[in-house]
Structure formats: C-alpha cells, structure tokens
C-alpha cells in the first residue's frame, strides 16, 4: 500500500509540475516525457529507492499492459487531432512512410543491432521490429500544442500524426514474424504468421476498428439529434469507446492498437461535430493523465545495471539506431515524399521519428513470450536515448523549420 501511495504522489506531482510549466517546457530543451522519465529514475531503485516495480507484481506484465492502455488512449487522441483535409492531401507520402519506410527502418535497425550487439539473425530482426514504429505518444509532445501550431505547418504535424498512429499497429506483423521464427519450425512459423498475424491480427483488426468507429460516430449523432446527450467534451466518450475497441480486439486475438487507431480515425471522418477546437485540449488532457504516468513507470523500470553490464556495444547500438534507422531511409525515399511535402518537411520528419511507448509495449510482449531479456535491455536503452535526443532537439529543430520556411517564403516573394 505504501508503494501505491508514493507512486500516486510522485505521478500526481509530475502532472501538476508539467501542467504549470507546459508552455515553457514546449519551448525548452527539456520536454514532458524527459521530465517524467527523470522523475521515475530519481524515485526508482537507482535513485532514492522509494519505488520498485518488482514489488508491485510481475514487471513484464505491468509494463506490457500499462503501455498497451497508454497507447490505446494516446492513439485515440492522435486520430481525433488529424484534420480531415489532410487525409486527402497526404495519403501518398503517408503510404510510403507506412510501407517502404517502415520496411527500410526495420531492416536498418536489425542490421545495426546485429552488428553492435552480435546477436543472432532472427533476434536482431525482432529487436529491429520493436523499435521500428514512430511513437504517437512522444510524437504528440512535439507536434501538438500552441508552440507546434505556430511553428509547424499542418501538413508536417498531420504527416507525423498519421504515420505514428498507423504504424504502431502495423508494426505487429514485423514483430510477430521473427518472434514466431524463434518459437516454431520455419514452415509452421510462416503459416502462423499468415493466418494469425496477417489475417486475424491485421485484417480482422481493421474491420473491428472501422465498424466500431463508424458505429460510435452514428450513435453520438443520433443521441445529439434527439437531445439524449448533454453537450460536453468528447474526452469521456472517446476514451470509453477506445477501451471498448481495445477489449474487443484483444478478445478475438486481433491487433488491438491498429483497431483503436482506425476506430478513432473513422470516428473523426464520420462525425460532423463542429467543436473541433476542443480536440487539441482533449489530447493535452490525455497526455497529462495517461502518458506521463507511463514514462514515470518506465523510468522506475529502466534496467540500468544490465545496461552497464552490456557496456559500450549497447551505447553504440542505441546511438547508431537513432542516427541511421530513419534519416537515411527517408533521404532515399524523399522523391516519393516531396509532394505535397517540401524538402525541409522531409528533413524534419526524417529526424523526428521518436521511439517510445510502442517499443516498450512490443519489447515486453516479446519478452513475455520468449523469456529473452536482451529484447527489453536493448529496446529500453534505445527508447531512453530517443526520449533524450528527440526531446533536446524538438524545440530548436522546430524553430529551425519555421525560420527556413519563412526565409524561403520571403525569397519567393522578393
């Protein structure tokens, strides 16, 4: 009971602190996820020793389920934030990001992990798959809020939102292939991947998400037309149906993350509500109440002793993955991304592909199935490095994008 009370106090104080300083934080070198992680480290076993997840229960299960719930809530907020017109304008570059770019990032990450950590082929592919998806939770701290709206054009913000929302679910098929290969004979692994991961995991997940999202939009429209519901924020309603989608998809063995994002995305497209301005506030509230606690828990659970045991190779793996996993791939694909995106947009998006809660979820999901702790040690180090590096560079790079765009606009007018 004491652990719970201390955790509640620490998490509550973190949310209050971030809330009071939110405007200043967005403009600084220290972003919200960084603060939450540092709080977790300071009160965890390698800090003051106040909290230890091992005393709460089975660590892997706690991290997996906490990350899954956080992603479900975060993905709903991302889906609601996307402008409808952006879907029509950005479908081509987003399709490239969700296919060729994801494949390239997966293979590049796997090669770097295999080279730095000297791990077997399929294990390297598994770790590479875990860190492939762009995280919607960390990305939201970069592309949402007044600072981002002022400095980044809508096309950039919505491209990152669309990609990070969709590729969390699509990463499931990348994660499952090497995991099944490590568990079963090759022919059986391929069969299970095609049937359970691709057909049930992705196709059925898409159907579930689309159906629930459309039904939710029509239900709230029907209730409002007949005066059955009070006019209020979408927060309670959307959180509730994101949980319904999450549970329904999990019950049938489908990819719940893909279902949740598609349900929110379809709801956004199908609803005719006029209070779209509140959706930014919804996302901010979600970030404070759900995502910050996840990063505090992550900070508490960091396997720092195991990182030190792995030494320099792990550091090289984390840094090389961040520098080489995404920017070179998007540079190669830039001709396919150039319309309607500009060159400066591709450069910005090429760097800001943060790794976060999605990797925490997939790493612990894989660890629970394979009982291979190296997946968690490597993934957690890469996530920590991403939170730090992308956090420190978020405000300066965002200002750089705005200045470059402004200078180019003046040059064209001149």
Which whole-number Å values give the CA distances from 164 to 167, 171, 189, 396, in the listed order?
6, 11, 28, 21
Task: Check residue 262 and give its pLDDT.
Answer: 93
Whether 172 shows a pLDDT value over 90: the answer reads yes
By C-alpha distance, which of 181, 111, 172, 110 is closest to 370? 181
Whether 385 shows a pLDDT value over 90: the answer reads yes
By C-alpha distance, which of 137, 165, 116 is closest to 324? 116
The whole-number average pLDDT for the span 161-180 is: 92
Task: Check residue 143 and give its pLDDT.
Answer: 80
**HEC string for 329-345:** HHHHCHHHHCCCCCHHH
Which whole-number Å values give the CA distances from 62 to 27, 239, 394, in the listed order?
33, 21, 30
Task: Check residue 106 and give its pLDDT.
Answer: 97
- CB atoms closer than 10 angstroms to residue 131: 31
CATH fold, domain 2-409, is Na+/H+ antiporter like fold (1.20.1530)
**Tally of CA atoms within 13 A in the half-sphere of 271 that contains its CB:** 29
Whether 410 shows a pLDDT value over 60: the answer reads no
Task: Check residue 213 and give its pLDDT.
Answer: 92
Q: How far is residue 208's CA from residue 263's CA, in Å, rounded to a whole number?
A: 8
Task: Check residue 380 and give its pLDDT.
Answer: 97
Whether 116 shows a pLDDT value over 90: the answer reads yes
Residue 273 pLDDT grade (very low, low, confident, very high; cuts 50, 70, 90): low
Task: Check residue 411 and give its pLDDT.
Answer: 43
The whole-number average pLDDT for the span 277-304 is: 77
Q: How far is residue 202's CA from residue 27's CA, in Å, rounded to a whole number?
A: 38
Give this prediction's pTM: 0.93
- Do 326 and 353 contact (CB within 8 A), yes or no? yes
Which whole-number Å values give the CA distances from 69 to 64, 168, 266, 347, in the listed order?
9, 13, 20, 32
Name the packing angle between helices 136-143 and 373-413 (round to 10°): 30
Task: Check residue 150 and give its pLDDT.
Answer: 84
Task: Check residue 394 and give its pLDDT.
Answer: 86
Whether 414 shows a pLDDT value over 60: the answer reads no
pLDDT tens digits, residue range 24-54? 888 888 888 899 999 999 999 998 889 999 8
Q: What integer best gives the mean pLDDT of the chain?
A: 87
Task: Check residue 83 and give its pLDDT.
Answer: 82
Buried b / exposed e across 268-300, counting CB within 10 Å, b at 16+?
bebbeeeeeebbbebbbbbbbebbbbbbbbbbb
Locate the domains of the chain by residue range: 2-409
For the ranges 56-60, 235-239, 298-302, the lowest mean pLDDT is seen at 235-239
Q: How far is residue 49's CA from residue 41's CA, in Å, rounded to a whole number?
A: 9
Q: Please, what sign has the CA dihedral across residues 170, 172, 241, 70?
A: negative
Task: Check residue 401 and give its pLDDT.
Answer: 84
Q: How far is residue 62's CA from residue 364's CA, in Å, rounded to a whole number?
A: 9
């Amino acid at each position: 009971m004491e652990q719970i009370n201390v955790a509640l106090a620490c998490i509550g104080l973190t949310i209050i602190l971030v809330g009071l300083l939110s405007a200043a934080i967005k403009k600084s070198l220290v972003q919200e996820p960084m603060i939450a992680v540092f709080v977790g480290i300071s009160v965890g076993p390698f800090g003051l020793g106040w909290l230890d997840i091992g005393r709460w229960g089975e660590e892997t299960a706690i991290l997996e389920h906490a990350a899954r719930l956080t992603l479900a809530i975060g993905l709903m907020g991302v889906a609601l934030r996307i402008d409808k017109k952006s879907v029509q304008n950005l479908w081509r570059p987003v399709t490239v990001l969700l296919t060729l770019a994801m494949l390239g990032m997966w293979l590049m990450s796997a090669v770097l992990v295999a080279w730095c950590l000297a791990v077997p082929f399929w294990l390297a592919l598994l770790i590479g798959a875990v860190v492939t998806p762009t995280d919607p939770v960390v990305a939201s701290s970069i592309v949402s809020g007044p600072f981002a709206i002022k400095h980044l054009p809508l096309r950039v913000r919505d491209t990152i939102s669309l990609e990070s929302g969709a590729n969390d679910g699509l990463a499931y098929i990348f994660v499952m292939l090497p995991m099944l290969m490590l568990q079963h004979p090759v022919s059986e692994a391929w069969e299970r991947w095609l049937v359970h991961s691709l057909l049930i995991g992705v196709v059925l997940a898409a159907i579930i998400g689309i159906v629930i999202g459309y039904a939710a939009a029509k239900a709230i429209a029907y209730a409002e037309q007949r005066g059955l519901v009070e006019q209020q924020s979408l927060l309670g309603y959307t959180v509730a149906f994101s949980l319904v989608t999450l549970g329904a998809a999990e019950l049938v063995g489908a990819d719940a993350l893909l279902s949740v994002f598609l349900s929110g995305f379809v709801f956004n497209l199908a609803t005719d509500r006029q209070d779209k301005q509140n959706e930014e506030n919804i996302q901010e509230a979600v970030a404070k109440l759900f995502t910050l606690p996840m990063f505090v828990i992550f900070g508490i659970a960091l396997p720092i002793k195991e990182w030190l045991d792995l030494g320099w190779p792990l550091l090289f793996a984390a840094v090389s993955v961040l520098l080489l996993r995404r920017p070179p791939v998007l540079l190669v694909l830039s001709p396919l991304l150039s319309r309607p995106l500009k060159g400066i947009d591709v450069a910005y998006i090429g760097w800001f592909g943060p790794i976060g809660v999605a990797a925490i979820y997939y790493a612990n999901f894989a660890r629970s199935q394979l009982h291979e702790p190296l997946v968690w040690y490597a993934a957690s180090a890469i996530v920590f490095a991403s939170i730090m590096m992308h956090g420190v560079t978020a405000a300066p790079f965002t200002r750089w994008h705005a200045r470059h765009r402004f200078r180019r606009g003046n040059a064209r007018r001149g």
